[in-house]
A and B are shown apart, each in its own frame.
Chain A
Amino acid sequence: MNLTLREMILVALFAALTAIGAFIQIPTPIVPYTLQFLFCAYSGILLGAKKGLYSQLLYVGIGLLGIPIFVNGGGPTYVLQPTFGFLLGFILCAYVIGKATEKFQASLSFAKLLSSILLGLFIVYLFGVSYLYAIVNLYLHKEMAIMQAIAVGFTPYILPDIILSIIIAYTATRIIPILRRRGLVT
């Protein structure tokens, strides 16, 4: 794994922060949603691709082990939840956002950050909606058109998530310089 002790602890702390994100529910006019994605994106932005991936992997692993840190609890049977695909998406999403922002190291602008985050968000939905589709059709043996899966898993959440992405990109442009000045991130 080749991580220093400090890096391993940071991976653990960002897994903990993602769990906290799941507990913070923000009521919106359409659907209540959580800040999980914010911490997932930040784990990629602040820790980089590899460690971001580890932190999300650790988060999902702890939840599957049975500690209730997902939005609806936890445990191995959580893989049957139609929304489990979104959690799988987070793992890759942190990696992709990390990879994309690592590239722009020197000049992190709002536009570059936002495009990386939206790319990550796309991956979350790609996994989330396909998993939703697969679980309903293959496990429940219930006919569901892909359009229906999109209507249930995509349409109600995409607008708040895009707003959240803008918030993440904006706050990151302010936060990264502060953390760099203190020598906390590279």
Chain B
Amino acid sequence: MLTDITLGQYFPGKSPLHLLDSRTKIINTVLFITAVFFADNYLTYGIVTAFTLITVLMTAIPLRMILKSVRPLWVIILLTLLVHVFSTPGQIIFHAGPFAATAEGIRQGTFMTLRLVLLIIMSSLLTFTTSPIALTDGLERLLSPFKRVGLPAHELAMMMTIALRFIPTLLEETDRIMKAQIARGADFSSGNIIKRAKNMVPLLVPLFVSAFRRADDLATAMEARCYRGGENRTRMKELKMTGKDIVAFAIVIVLLIVLAGLKIVH
């Protein structure tokens, strides 16, 4: 039932991308997204596409899983393609009903669609190769300079970690409460509105009571262990930048410079 849902899309592995520091991956994803927006002709689109393909192959994640992350946006992708193909003025290639497809439109449509697909693939690679915990850890470290202007970086990362940690737990709990109440004769799937609303009460009361209790227990447990925020806190797994990270930065920055350069030259 409900518990069949697997949360997160982290795909454990030992590829060069998996071994990178999560901060490196977050920053490089942003840099790559910037680089993609510099692409505007066959050569530059070729470069970013090749770069994406090589990165995907390096991660050793099955292609099927990568395509699955593109699927939810297929409507937008298809619409982007069609709108550009049929609404760009230029040399007409063929007619489809009242619409005319132009050579420029096909070119523009392909570029725009490609850009979108590359963006989706690269941003999903981040969560494919980084565990949620490493991701929130990296985010905390990246945001910590903003603590001075009042951004609670540590608290934010802590809440994200707790939310992620408790999604499966609360999901299982919801499932268990539903089954327990069904066993007692509750009916969640029939009757009129009032009856259904009444049937929701025995599901929601235990769910909220247990959520509040969990919050109390967890707060007590953390305070008993002297938790007092991010100040001077040590961690079990320290994030460490290594030579690999420097190489990754160098590659992406070179890509960014080359694409920006080609954009200026043209």
Contacts and interface: CB of A to CB of B under 8 A. Distances in A.
Given A46-B208, A75-B127, 13 more contacts: A1-B155, A10-B215, A12-B162, A19-B167, A20-B174, A24-B2, A58-B156, A61-B156, A65-B139, A69-B7, A77-B116, A166-B193, A174-B205
A52 to B, nearest CB: 14
B163 A13 contact: yes
A139 to B, nearest CB: 8
Contacts of A82: 75-76
8 contacts: A13-B166, A16-B164, A20-B2, A141-B83, A163-B193, A166-B193, A175-B208, A178-B209
Interface residues of B, number: 62
A23 B2 contact: yes
Interface string A12-36: 1111110110011000000000000
Interface in B128-187: 132, 135, 139, 152, 155-156, 158-160, 162-164, 166-167, 170-171, 174
B73 A15 contact: no
Contacts of A6: 215-216, 219
Interface size bucket, A side?
A: 35 or more
Interface of B: 2, 5, 7-9, 33, 69, 72-73, 75-76, 79-80, 83, 87, 116, 119-120, 123-124, 126-127, 132, 135, 139, 152, 155-156, 158-160, 162-164, 166-167, 170-171, 174, 193-194, 196-198, 200-201, 204-205, 207-209, 211-216, 218-219, 222-223, 227
Nearest to B5: A23
A86 interface: no
Contacts of B72: 72-73, 81
Which are the 9 A-B pairs with shortest beta-carbon distances? A66-B127, A72-B72, A12-B162, A6-B219, A184-B212, A167-B197, A12-B159, A12-B163, A15-B163
A185 B174 contact: no
Contact of A182 (B83, B209, B219): B209
A76 interface: yes
A65 B120 CA distance: 12
Contacts, number: 162
Main secondary structure of the interface of A (DSSP, over half): helix
A19 B132 CA distance: 15
A58 B157 CA distance: 10
A9 B161 CA distance: 10
Given A16-B167, A73-B72, A179 B212 contact: yes
Contact of B160 (A58, A72, A185): A58
B197 A19 contact: no
B209 A171 contact: no
Nearest to B219: A6
Nearest to A15: B163
Contacts of A23: 2, 5, 171
B163 A19 contact: yes
B123 A77 contact: yes
A106 B199 CA distance: 26
Contacts of A12: 158-160, 162-163, 166
- Of the listed residues B75, B170, B208, the one surrounded by the most CB atoms of chain A closer than 10 A to its CB is B208
Given A67-B7, A80-B76, A175-B201, A58 B159 contact: yes
Nearest to B29: A76
A123 B170 CA distance: 28
Contacts of B116: 77, 80
Nearest to B196: A167
Interface in A33-47: 42, 46
